[in-house]
């Protein structure tokens, strides 16, 4: 006979774990603890979204590449159409790209950041690839859905082939800026 806990005893165990701190939602998690997150990625929390390729994150723990503080992060190897109020002016798909990031990287979202060769750009933004806590590579997802384009800013090129393949797929399917949002199929 196999013993199976009754529902009340299972709930009691879960409650004890939560009270003991074993399941706290904001508990630090190392990249190696979650499937899909690359080794060396640093945990952070999204503070706010600027646009389709720039966010602010808060790092709470020392020991990673970014010190504990709030940092402006430019997502690597992607380029989003500009939004109204930007120096370049609004571009087709800019509002949709920003809304996509706001939906998937809302304030309070736990993310994992990975650097490439350059740490910062000329605007002093940190350059990072972003994974969500469920293991999704966000930069790839944004390109695959047609919200942003793949772009190489040398020397940061770790995922450019993957992102270019995702862009080819989005273009072929007419997703986002490749047809859905921009009738000419070109942002």
The tens digit of pLDDT for each residue in 58-75 reads: 999 998 999 999 999 999
Domain assignment present for residue 71? The answer is: yes
Size of the chain, expressed as the number of residues it contains: 187
- Look at residues 132, 118, 146 and name the one whose alpha carbon lies nearest to residue 57: 132
* Residues facing 43 on adjacent strands: 112
**Backbone angles phi and psi of 29, in degrees to 5:** -130, 135
Domain assignment present for residue 127? The answer is: yes
**Residue 153 buriedness (CB in 10 A; 0-12 / 13-18 / 19+):** middle
Domain, as residue range, for 118 = 36-178
Separation of alpha carbons 183 and 142, rounded Å: 19
pLDDT in tens, 143-184: 999 999 999 999 999 999 999 999 999 999 999 999 988 876
pTM: 0.80
Q: How many independent structural domains does the chain possess?
A: 1
Identify the CATH number of the domain in which residue 69 sits.
2.40.50.90
């Amino acid at each position: 006979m196999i013993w199976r806990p009754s529902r009340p005893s299972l709930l009691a165990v879960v409650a004890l774990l939560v009270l003991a701190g074993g399941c706290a939602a904001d508990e630090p998690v190392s990249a190696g603890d979650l499937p899909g997150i690359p080794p060396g990625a640093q945990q952070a929390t999204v503070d706010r979204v600027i646009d389709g390729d720039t966010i602010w994150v808060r790092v709470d723990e020392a020991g990673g590449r970014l010190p504990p503080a709030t940092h402006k992060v430019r997502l690597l190897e992607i380029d989003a159409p500009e939004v109204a109020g930007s120096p370049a002016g609004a571009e087709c798909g800019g509002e949709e790209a920003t809304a996509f990031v706001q939906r998937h990287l809302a304030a309070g979202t736990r993310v994992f950041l990975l650097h490439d060769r350059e740490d910062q750009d000329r605007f002093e933004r940190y350059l990072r690839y972003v994974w969500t806590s469920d293991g999704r590579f966000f930069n790839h997802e944004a390109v695959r859905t047609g919200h942003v384009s793949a772009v190489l800013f040398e020397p940061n090129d770790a995922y450019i082939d993957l992102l270019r393949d995702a862009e080819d797929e989005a273009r072929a399917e007419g997703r986002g800026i490749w047809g859905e949002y921009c009738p000419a199929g070109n942002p």
